A = this chain, B = another copy of it.
Amino acid sequence: MRRVSATAARWRVPLPGGPVLDSPHARGARPGSMDLTLIQSLAVPGTTKIVLLSLDGLGGFPHPDTGRSELETARIPHLDGLARRGSCGLLRHVAPGVTPGSGPGHLGLFGYDPLRYLVGRGVLEALGIEFELRPGDVAARGNFCTVDAEGRITDRRAGRIPTSRCVELVERLREVRPAGVEVLVEPVKEHRFVLVLRGTGLSGRLSESDPQATGRPPVPVHALGPEAERAAALVNDFVGQARHLLRDAAPANMVLLRGFDQLPELPRFPTVFGLEAAGIAAYPMYRGLARLVGMDVLKTGATFAEEVATLEAHWDAYDFFFLHYKDTDKAGEDGDFPAKVAALERLDALVPPIEALRPDVFAVTGDHASPAVLRGHSWHPVPLVVTGAYAAADAVERFSERACAGGSLGTFPAHHLMPLLMANALRFTKFGA
């Protein structure tokens, strides 16, 4: 494992596109903002350890019968104990009223303003299957769909064909060979696949082929800038060949493409914060997001208990651990209130082994809310507790949406959490004399 050297972790490592911070005059092009360049200039080396536990889709909503949310229903003595001992608040991801996807939700937790650091759906879809995107690759989210004899869309999801059929049809699409570029197609689930164009001089600045409506034919893709003309022609060529290859494959006899994008150039998390950082996640999407910001992604198992074992095994090797727990979100998306309560209780039982490692700073929160009553992500702010020697207990005695709303940390943007954790870990120097 690499150790960040004291000097590299402190002052002099420039961010991509950002100046080195050695005088007030060099403080970059966005005066008045707390950006990653400023954060990097404040970060100092330390020996403290931070654990950030993201309970996916943590936030819930009161059940109409009981008036109590999933968190308020669950027996979660250890999470409540953290709330009693630590500082509580609510995290708002993206912006008020805005429901975050998993990508922006986690980028915010990692300290990246999700309105500033945009990651396209194609890239997220590729991360979700742990496809090793390379810089310059153009990725798109693909759907198999159904078209009629005149080529008009009759079903945008091809009757949600089984994943096994998706795998077969992706095999066919791999026969497409546009000139001078490599085409990679990967099945995802049901009617979904990932398309990646690999070659030089490509751009992801492309419109979508999905008209987001039935009764109309797919739309030819066009370049959103001159640098994308070649990619547009290649994509339209791919779509034409796909139509031919799928002509007898109804209901999956055509493809729709959207969310074209390339890997964003994100400042590296370990560089910005001066932390040796590891991501531990059972699900590929979250491993991909951790890798996207430059964390080491640790090999782990399929359960949260295995994630905790991985944490224990690598405890000495890192300063920062991102742990991800998926079950809360799954239950919320299924609209299964009791399942979400059970997921919270299962998680709660695994809090003590994390605490036993005695992290200097331990934060528990989520990437967005997924209330069972809404059967999906929502815009509601997400409970947060921060424990550590310098996070004072406030009046909050339970870990829930309503209790945390009265916490001393208030409601604040998710991308401000990392600076707060850095401060609590005594890893920030003073700003100004």
A residues near B, CB below 8 A? Answer: 7, 10-11, 22-27, 30-34, 38, 42, 61-62, 67, 69, 90, 94-105, 113-116, 118-121, 124-125, 141, 204-208, 212-213, 224-225, 259-261, 373-374, 376-380, 390, 392-395, 401-402, 405-412, 416, 418-424, 428-433
A-B CB contact pairs (8 Å), 6 listed: A24-B118, A24-B120, A26-B205, A32-B116, A99-B430, A103-B432
Please tell me which one of the listed residues B102, B390, B431 contacts residue A100 in the complex, with CB atoms under 8 A apart.
B431
**A24-B119, A406-B406 as given contacts; A99 in contact with B395, CB under 8 Å:** no
Q: What's the Cα separation between A260 and B24 when bound, in Å?
A: 9
Please tell me which one of the listed residues B27, B114, B431 contacts residue A432 in the complex, with CB atoms under 8 A apart.
B114
B423 contacts A22, C-beta separation under 8 Å: no
A11 to chain B, nearest CB (A): 8
B431 contacts A94, C-beta separation under 8 Å: yes
Count of identical protomers in the assembly:
2
A95 to chain B, nearest CB (A): 4
A127 to chain B, nearest CB (A): 10
A255 to chain B, nearest CB (A): 18
Q: What's the Cα separation between A419 and B94 when bound, in Å?
A: 12
Q: What's the Cα separation between A380 and B115 when bound, in Å?
A: 26
Interface centre among A24, A38, A115, A416 (most CB of B within 10 A): A24
Contacts of A406 in B (CB 8 A): 395, 406
A23 contacts B120, C-beta separation under 8 Å: yes
Q: What's the Cα separation between A121 and B96 when bound, in Å?
A: 30
A101 contacts B428, C-beta separation under 8 Å: no
Contacts of A395 in B (CB 8 A): 402, 406
B390 contacts A394, C-beta separation under 8 Å: no
**A97-B423, A432-B114 as given contacts; A260 in contact with B23, CB under 8 Å:** yes
**A113-B32, A114-B432, A405-B410 as given contacts; A419 in contact with B97, CB under 8 Å:** yes
Closest to A94 in B: B431
